[in-house]
Chain A
Amino acid sequence: MSLEVWAEKYRPTRLDEIINQKHVVARVRVFVEERNIPHMLFAGPPGTGKTTLALCIARELYGDQWRQNILETNASDERGIDVIRGKIKDFARTMALGGAEYRIVVLDEADALTAEAQQALRRTMETYSSTVRFILICNYSSKIIPPIQSRTAVFRFKALSEADVREFIQRIVKGEKLKIEEKAVEAIIYLCEGDLRRAANLLQAASALGAKITESMVYEVASQARPDDVKRMLENAYKGKFKDAREILHRMLLSQGLAGEDVVREIHRQIYGLNLPEEAKVRLVEALGEYEFRISEGADSMIQLEAFLAQLAAYGGKALK
């Protein structure tokens, strides 16, 4: 039996299977029924159904031929707007299959584009608007320049509630005929923070540990599969073991190839848990903000984060005296 990733296997394929987001789905359904969709912008937290909705729209519009009529691009993987533009150009040149008037371009993680790249994208959207509809996807719509926002129908995806996540977990449990204790379900709900992708991944990994999934299995997966590198890094820096902290940072950025922004975000979440004077925490947050801003402007995330760790080590040195 071949392996399936549950997050993908249980990804909804029809509009009415989408977990919550009722306000969005209702409006989209109207467009789909009229077979005339505008350019759209989906904004919202990760794992709440943005990409899924885009794929559902394609299925509803093109039926079996949906794959041929959708171009999925990802701004965080395509280096530079030129690559994206080239792909879109090639894609827009050929007619839609199945008699549709237009095809769909999904541009995921659009907030990874710089403001300049977005300006270029805006022209691309105008050039091909007769044959292509764009669905832009991002976490924060504020990162999308106003001219693009004004040319798209903006849909905001809500953070999902506990009940929403539970519904999704139950679908998988039923589909896979899993045995799971209630405490384990609660643990997944707590750990996934409203992110259905993460919920599915946690559940699948925990199921590898035994016939019946328990709360402790879920926590074991959470701590083992994602060892808290950021936490260990911060603790090392704080205790003055700067070089150890730096080594962890290097592993994350170099060999695991994580994005600097992802590391920054995780640090931000953890600063308040550090054993530092309250005032120092605030100053560190401010420093972190400065480093993140520089990174977003094109500075090198490794050196900027090392500078942050060095500052933390200096604060730690004072606090421990």
Chain B
Amino acid sequence: MWTVKYKPKRLAEVVDQAEAKEKLLRWLEEWKPGGKAALLYGPPGNGKTCTVEALAEEKGLDLLQTNASDVRSEEKIERFLGRSVKEASLLGTRGKLILIDEVDGLEASADRGGVRAILRIIRESAFPVILTANDPWDRRLYEIRDLCELIEFKKVPIRDVVKRLEYICRSEGVKADPKLLHAIAEKNRGDLRGAILDLETIAQGRKQLTPEDLEALGKREQETDIFEALRTVFKARSALSAKLSISNVDMDPGEIFWWIAENVANEYERPEDLARAYEALARADLFRSRIIHRQNWRMQAYMVDLMTAGVSQAKKEPYRKFTRYQRPERLRFYSKTMVEREKLNQALRRIASRLHCSTRKVKTEFLPYLLYQAKKQKDFAEKLASAFNLTREEINLISSFYK
């Protein structure tokens, strides 16, 4: 992981935060038992934890660390930190640094008493204690705040994020378009860790990156969510959980509809199941058309229920298998061919007006024969082009759509 590989080893390597680093060093120098703890605060991914780690490394201190992923009830905190804050390092000579990460992540019930334990540690510790938080003004922290020196870590400016990304690219031998790096930085709004993660995701196994790659990243995130939702819709026995599955998907229900429609045939194998599932979708579609034609958005709730719960209840038994889900062909087709279809339509219109009919008639009644002749006679395509004032591109377009 690049976030680990490129973690700063020394304070000077931490990007920006000059003021914060200075304050922190001064606090550490002046710290005496019973003194204030340091509360480092600021948005995620801007170097709070890294700074503490680099500090410990640089000062030769053992870092005792607990973070939000540990349960921090009073009892656990006491057990983990309680003794060590009073004893010298096991190795004897080295000092210690206590880091309690993400204190605003304490949960009211599970971390019951956590605040009390932290307060006691700050008061009684024989070693300096550092806390981190995204939001130091969190209600639960007001007592802790009083015992802390507050040190702000600011968002990392975009140009510095970009610089860091460039450095990583150089070290990894990856060629990345500056626009892409800039876009990654913007997307992450001062979150350097997030930016590095994104860069690594995009660069996975590749040496050349273009701005279009960012789009793939957004989609990839979205797609994991939709895959999860599809799995639930298809596998769930409960209608309600099928219905709720799509609430996490950041996608318009109309688009989710096509994801379900595309993949239901990959999942359901019994023809009766599939027929029932499609009927549920077709009925959902009826509600969709009512939304559009009567602007009755209340109907969306029923459309969503039918396409999720309705499809989930169409199966007799869940299928025990892994299904690979895919992007709906319809969406793929429309996004891939947007420009071409517009050009195609213009060409068809020109033909239609010459033949005094609709483009629909051109498609069903004329094109099949004209293209057949073009296949049989060498110069027919050119004649066709000149007869209808079509460019070569338009002729090619027509034959590619109607092959």
Residues of A within 8 A of B (CB): 1-5, 7-8, 11, 46, 51, 55, 72, 74, 76-77, 108-109, 197-198, 201-202, 204-205, 208-209, 221, 224-226, 240, 242-243, 246, 250, 254-259, 262, 291, 294, 297-300, 302-304, 306-307, 309-311, 313-314, 316-317
Contact = CB atoms under 8 A, between A and B. Distances in A.
Contacts of B372: 205, 208, 221, 224-225
Contact of B369 (A225, A307, A311, A316): A225
B218 interface: no
Q: Which 4 A-B pairs have the closest CB atoms?
A: A3-B383, A225-B372, A307-B282, A310-B278
Nearest to A243: B265
Given A2-B383, A2-B386, A77-B360, A298 B292 contact: yes
B261 to A, nearest CB: 6
Given A3-B384, A209-B376, A255-B333, A313 B366 contact: no
A11 B354 CA distance: 12
B295 interface: no
Contacts of B356: 8, 11, 51, 55, 72, 108
B289 A5 contact: no
B338 to A, nearest CB: 13
10 contacts: A2-B386, A77-B359, A209-B376, A225-B372, A240-B271, A257-B341, A298-B293, A307-B279, A316-B271, A317-B272
A311 B282 CA distance: 12
For A4, A5, A259, A316, which residue has the most chain B Cβ atoms within 10 angstroms?
A: A5
Contact of A310 (B275, B292, B333, B358): B275
Given A8-B355, A204-B369, A208-B377, A300 B288 contact: yes
B396 interface: no
Interface in B367-403: 368-373, 376-377, 380, 383-384, 386-387, 401-402
Nearest to A210: B376
Interface residues of B, number: 53
Contacts of A294: 282, 285-286, 289
A2 B387 contact: yes
Contact of B358 (A74, A224, A311): A74
Interface string B269-280: 001101101110
Contacts of B288: 299-300
Contacts of A11: 356
B369 A299 contact: no
A1 B386 CA distance: 10
Majority SS at the chain A contact face: helix
A300 B286 CA distance: 8
Given A77-B352, A208-B377, A313 B285 contact: no
B156 interface: no
A117 B364 CA distance: 25
B288 to A, nearest CB: 7
With a 10 A CB-CB cut-off, give which of B265, B337, B401, B402 has the most chain A CB atoms. Answer: B265
B281 A303 contact: yes
Contacts, number: 153
A221 B275 CA distance: 36
A297 B352 contact: no
A202 to B, nearest CB: 7
Given A243-B265, A298-B289, A303-B261, A202 B364 contact: no
Contacts of A4: 387
B369 A221 contact: yes
Contacts of A297: 289
A8 B271 CA distance: 47
Given A221-B369, A313-B275, A74 B363 contact: no
A307 B278 contact: yes
Contacts of B361: 197
A314 B271 contact: yes
Given A72-B353, A307-B279, A314 B274 contact: yes
Given A5-B366, A250-B330, A300 B285 contact: yes
Given A246-B265, A300-B285, A311-B275, 11 more contacts: A5-B387, A8-B355, A55-B356, A77-B352, A77-B359, A109-B360, A257-B341, A258-B360, A291-B282, A299-B289, A300-B289
A24 B402 CA distance: 37
B273 to A, nearest CB: 9
Given A3-B383, A8-B354, A310 B373 contact: no
Contact of B281 (A108, A208, A307): A307
B365 interface: yes
A74 B357 contact: yes
Contact of A303 (B265, B282, B355): B282
Contacts of B279: 307, 310-311
B278 A51 contact: no
Given A77-B349, A109-B358, A205-B373, A306 B333 contact: no
Contacts of B380: 3, 208
Contacts of A299: 282, 285-286, 288-289
B87 interface: no
Contacts of B266: 243
Contacts of A242: 265, 271, 274
Nearest to B294: A298
B329 interface: yes
Nearest to B307: A303
Contacts of B292: 298
A316 B274 CA distance: 13
A246 B286 CA distance: 20
A205 B372 CA distance: 7
B275 A74 contact: no
